[in-house]
Amino acid sequence: MSKETVRLTSWVALGALLIATTGCGYILYPERRTQPLSDTLDVSVVIYDCLWLLAGVVPGVVALIVDGTNDTWYYTEEELSQKGWADQQSRQSVPRGTEMQVRLHGTAPEDVAVTLRLLAPDGTVLADSTTTSNPLADIQALSLTVPENVQTTDATLVLEVNGRRQIAWDVEIVE
């Protein structure tokens, strides 16, 4: 191989690596690194990362690893609400007297108060449950029972951490 061919190959490989790391969800959607994420996968980011495998194994694997470890494959709750998808996907029917349970994944950096509240449309608390998160536990569950005497059919289930709302789900209370 000539010196020019080696130099050109090096520049092409370096360019492909730079494009792969700047073309992934980590760079395109920096808000996904800090905002609460949903469970809805942004398929376009995954496909885009996989397409980098056509440019080369290294750029493709780098893009997949970066987005996979940072969870930038998933829409944020704010993105879903702007698209109007959050209400459609999160509305659940719950019978009166049913125990609802939310599983929390990941370790907390410190002891935190986690509250699960069921709110009426006017903001009245229908039921609530609070627990202190153990920073050493990886998975924790918080449960709440829907009261039998609830008169409303529409409610909101709210998850709060240290008194700050993190996420909310629309709930339809049925017989």
Say if CB 120 and CB 126 are below 8 A apart.
yes
Q: Give pLDDT, residue 109.
A: 64
pLDDT per residue over 57-78, tens digit each?
Answer: 777 788 888 888 888 888 888 8
Per-residue DSSP letter, 15: H
How much is the average pLDDT of 130-137? 70
Of 130, 110, 109, which Cα lies nearest the Cα of 118?
A: 130
Q: Which residue has the higher pLDDT, 128 or 85?
A: 128
Any idea where the domains of the chain sit in the sequence? 3-82, 91-174
β-pairing, 37-41 with 164-174?
unpaired
pLDDT per residue over 134-146, tens digit each?
Answer: 666 665 777 888 8
Is it the case that residue 93 has pLDDT exceeding 60? yes
Q: Tell me the pTM.
A: 0.48
Q: How far apart are CA 136 and CA 161, in angstroms?
A: 17
CATH of domain 91-174: 2.60.40.1930
Is it the case that residue 7 has pLDDT exceeding 80? yes
Q: Give pLDDT, residue 153.
A: 80
Q: Give pLDDT, residue 87.
A: 47
Q: Give pLDDT, residue 27.
A: 78
Of 60, 64, 62, 43, which Cα lies nearest the Cα of 52?
A: 60
